[in-house]
Amino acid sequence: MVKIIVKISIIICLIYFANAQQILRSQDVKGQNFLFSFGSCFSERRLTALNRTSIFEKISEQKPDVFAWLGDFGYPKLFEDFIPAFEFTKNEKGYKMLQSNNITQIIGVWDDHDYGRNDGDKNYKHKHETRQIYLDYIGEPKNSIRRTQPGGIYTSYYLGSTKKVKLVLLDVRFSRDSFWFEHSDILGPDQWKWLENEFNDPHSHTIILASGCQILPDDRVIPEKWYPDSRNRLFNLIQKHKDHQRVILISGDIHLAEILVEPNSVNKFGYNIIEITSSGLTHHIMDYKFPQFIVDGFLPNTFNDRQHRLMDFNYALVDIKIDPENKENTQLEISIKDQNNATRLQVKIEPWKQEQKQLNLTNSKYTRDDHRYKRWIIWMFKNYFIEYRKAGIALTSIAFVILILAYFICKILYDCYQNKIKNQQKQKTN
């Protein structure tokens, strides 16, 4: 009986602690300077069709200590396409440079396309097979607990030997509920339990929390976002641990880059809750040839405004400076770089700095406390009738003309139908 209890305890410890303690080496001997890079969305089709080389060449030139995939390693349409799509990414010229520069360690977590299904959730039937394939292609050891642990491929790493800054990679696919239920969850019970333990870590004081899809925005017309209950649960966790863990959010998925901030977060959490999104290693939102005013219409300005977004190829570079003696001196400078390695967006984060002022990246007066539909409708009105007035008036006029035409066509058809019935009745009476 005692043996069984010991065995069960060891298994539980392995599940909840063993995979959280990997240290990623840095080029700095003391481990106090760490260069961390991340990005997402690599499409073979886009790269081949447009005869491009991926931005990985530029990432490799930076020689980061680590590159983390935040999803979409490839875009296989069917399960049978999985290995060919991943082989293409693995052998792409730029990515090969990054893999062979003898400095950069490559890690990652999946999002929907490299999980196996667009907007996929826990019901995807091939998830156990794709889990092994995905982990093979990002170089996860065969004996890694990520291959078998319950709830998904979530994991965490210390960035450098000081163990003060930790990268937590969340799996937002494997246990994700379907989106149409009212209280849908995104992480599942096993991952939540594990995440709570990550926050209880006595070594780290700063957590970079990574999710394939965006965490903060709740008012955009896309299904791919954190469900309200899960976001609230995460916010409660962040708030509970605010005195010993400070959190910076990072994400991918949306084919643009941006810096966002939670309004009033200094009041609620004691510091600014910032999210940095980088998506678009081979393609970006403007490749779809939508007019700018249509794209902007889908992106309300609750968390940032247009100048804090980049609709171009991009990756993120995080220059981390850790003072192990004084956490207030820990700094993260996060840059969004383009295909020329030019810095297009930047934010400096000092998570432990005392007397934080609320960072404001928008002139919107609305916050999460205002209903998201209200925010979206106000934004649509402002976007179409103030920011892009000519386009808005033109669109409204076209819609008005279409409605009037539709009305007259329906009226004519209805009149024809009525006449036909009247004629039939006349014929019957005659």
x-marked contacts with Fe ion along 306-345 as a string, rule CB under 5 A: ----------------------------------------
Q: Give me the least distance between CB of 75 and Fe ion, in Å please.
A: 7
Q: Which of residues 264-283 bind Fe ion (CB under 5 A)?
A: none
Minimum CB–partner distance for residue 128 and Fe ion (Å)? 23
Q: Which stretch binds Fe ion (CB under 5 A): 66-74, 183-191, 202-210, 352-360?
A: 66-74
Q: Are strands 246-251 and 274-277 parallel, antiparallel or unpaired?
A: parallel
Distance CA 414, CA 332 (A): 67
Asked if 64 contacts 337 with a C-beta cutoff of 8 angstroms, the reply is no
β-pairing, 66-69 vs 331-337, is unpaired
Q: Which residues touch 68 (CB under 8 Å, ≥6 apart)? A: 36, 37, 38, 106, 107, 108, 109, 167, 169, 210
Least distance (Å) between residue 74 CB and Fe ion: 10
Measured distance CA(128)–CA(124) in Å, rounded: 9
Q: Shortest Cβ distance from residue 285 to Fe ion (Å)?
A: 10
Least separation in angstroms between residue 113's CB and Fe ion is 6
> Which span (24-32, 70-78, 141-149, 213-221) binds Fe ion, by CB under 5 A?
70-78
Applying the rule CB under 5 A, the residues between 360 and 419 that interact with Fe ion are none
How far is Cα 238 from Cα 252, in angstroms, rounded to an integer?
A: 21
Nearer to Fe ion, 20 or 215 (CB): 215
Q: How far is the CB of 135 from Fe ion (least distance, A)?
A: 19
Half-sphere exposure of 4 toward its Cβ, with a 13 Å CA cutoff?
Answer: 1
Of 41 and 234, which has the nearer Cβ to Fe ion? 41
Among 44, 72, 92, 275, binds Fe ion (CB under 5 A): 72
Q: Please report the DSSP string for 2-42 in residue order.
A: HHHHHHHHHHHHHHHTGGG-EEE--SSTTS-EEEEEEE---
Binding status of residue 47 toward Fe ion by CB under 5 A: no
Q: Which is nearer to Fe ion, 72 or 218 (CB)?
A: 72
Cα separation, 113 vs 212, whole angstroms: 10
Supply 355's token pair.
């007397």
Considering beta carbons, is residue 138 or 361 the nearer one to Fe ion? 138
Restricting to residues 104-123, name those near Fe ion by CB under 5 A: none
Q: Helix-strand-coil percent breakdown of the chain, rounded to 5?
A: 40, 15, 45
Q: Which is nearer to Fe ion, 41 or 98 (CB)?
A: 41
Q: Taking the complex as a whole, how short is the minimal distance between the CB of residue 278 and Fe ion, in angstroms?
A: 11
- What minimum distance in Å lies between the beta carbon of 36 and Fe ion? 21
Cα–Cα distance for residue pair 152/122, rounded to 1 Å: 10
Cβ(257)–Cβ(343) below 8 Å: no
User: Residue 22's CB: how many other CB atoms inside 10 A?
Assistant: 13
Pick 72 or 219: Cβ nearer Fe ion: 72
Q: Which range, of 27-35, 68-76, 375-383, 404-412, touches Fe ion by CB under 5 A?
A: 68-76
* Cβ 264 to Fe ion shortest distance, Å: 31
Other Cβ atoms less than 10 A from the Cβ of 191: the count is 22
What's the min distance (Å) between Cβ of 336 and Fe ion? 16
Residues paired with residue 276 on neighbouring β-strands, in sequence order: 250, 259
* DSSP for 147-171, written as a single string: GTSTT-S-EEEEESTT--EEEEE--
From 36-44, 137-145, 340-348, 367-375, give the range in contact with Fe ion by CB under 5 A: 36-44
Choose which of 20, 41, 215, 249 interacts with Fe ion (CB under 5 A).
41
CB nearer to Fe ion: pick between 107 and 285: 285
Task: At 305, list the tokens.
Answer: 């405004």
Name which of 153 and 247 has its Cβ closer to Fe ion.
153
DSSP of 112-156: HHHHTSTT--TT-TTHHHHHHHHHHHTT--TT-GGGTSTT-S-EE
Q: Which is nearer to Fe ion, 277 or 362 (CB)?
A: 277
Binding region for Fe ion (CB under 5 A) out of 24-32, 71-79, 284-292, 296-304: 71-79
Task: Report the candidate in 121, 168, 163 with the shortest Cα–Cα distance to residue 34.
Answer: 163
| Contact range with Fe ion by CB under 5 A, out of 44-52, 72-80, 100-108, 233-241 | 72-80
Output the smallest distance, CB 71 to Fe ion, in A.
7
Task: Select the span of 41-49, 319-327, 360-368, 405-413 touching Fe ion (CB under 5 A).
Answer: 41-49
Binding site for Fe ion (CB under 5 A): 41, 72
